[in-house]
Structure 1
């Protein structure tokens, strides 16, 4: 098989262009959902692009349509969103079409201070104990560590950490009173 000079130039040009593409351009073209999820933390104001108090329409926009919530049939209807790209164990609650809380049920999504599901109760105490009140757990041998307010200007915000068996079983950030609802939307 004979290769013409024009064919050779075309092949070399294609290889050279691909070989010298900026690394950030190539990386940007490949979605890395694990890295994106790992870089997101639960904060006093929400999770990732989701902010407490935002509407379902705004939440859908900031997640590029990945998060959907049925339209409320009543002003106080409670619904957990369907969010296909959420990290495992992260659930988002809307009441009356407004984001009221974010629940974290599995390890992998920490608070900005570094608390994660599965860590010890001592770790939770070291991070929040001085700012928290304690209440007995409603259903298990354990307790709730309730941190309020997380931000001084936001007196309705709370972090509720559920401690059972000496470990962080789950936690949630949200607005009072919904953040303290033990059964979620039930």
Structure 2
């Protein structure tokens, strides 16, 4: 008589009614300690290119969820609901790239973020930015790539994918930033 449906149905109805009443449950957020972290050529905040997923999870204080099997040479992980735009590429069991796919409050250490105008990249990073045509975009879509090196043979960079004159995607990391179809 008082089965599970009598307990679940009121909660389900409440969940459906809240949005129509203008009440929304708060969207999950990244932990407060990450609020001032930025995306940079070496990673995201203290999470560095070359770390393991477990090391990154300790810094985030959140689990990173894989988008598929983790036993392959390359896969992606993300914190999921708290920041769906943020992903980490893992190659050879090490983080090789951090990406922002879509709107996010996260920005680069130079203050750039998804949605900014392409011109801002040039203003902030100058002539060291290399422009190339976007593989799948129109003639006004570009890859704007900036590299730096701490020591010989050790390069890290940031690549801005632009669409219609605005930043659409940002990648930071090693040569993985040049991969255009996920892991290939």
Fold match by TM threshold 0.5: yes
**Counterpart Cα distance in 2 of 1:56 and 1:49:** 13
**Counterpart Cα distance in 1 of 2:60 and 2:158:** 23
Checking the alignment, whether the CA contact within 8 Å between 1:71 and 1:97 is kept in structure 2 is: no
**Counterpart Cα distance in 1 of 2:157 and 2:87:** 16
TM-score (norm 2): 0.72
Highest CA radius of gyration, 1 or 2? 1
Q: Which residue number corresponds to residue 67 of structure 1?
A: 64
Note closer, same or farther for the CA distance 1:165–1:96 as it changes in structure 2 (3 Å cut).
same
- Number of residue pairs matched by the alignment: 152
Q: Which residue number corresponds to residue 36 of structure 2?
A: 39
Q: Which residue number corresponds to residue 98 of structure 2?
A: 102
**Counterpart Cα distance in 1 of 2:135 and 2:56:** 31
Q: Which residue number corresponds to residue 116 of structure 2?
A: 119
**Counterpart Cα distance in 1 of 2:57 and 2:155:** 24
Structure 2 residue runs of 5 or longer lacking an equivalent are 1-27
Note closer, same or farther for the CA distance 1:32–1:104 as it changes in structure 2 (3 Å cut).
closer
Considering only aligned residues, what root-mean-square deviation do their CA atoms show, in Å?
Answer: 2.5
**Counterpart Cα distance in 1 of 2:108 and 2:81:** 19
User: How many angstroms does 1:32 deviate by?
Assistant: 7.4
User: How many angstroms does 1:44 deviate by?
Assistant: 2.2
The alignment partner of 1:116 has SS state of coil
Q: Which residue number corresponds to residue 89 of structure 1?
A: 85
**Counterpart Cα distance in 1 of 2:82 and 2:45:** 10
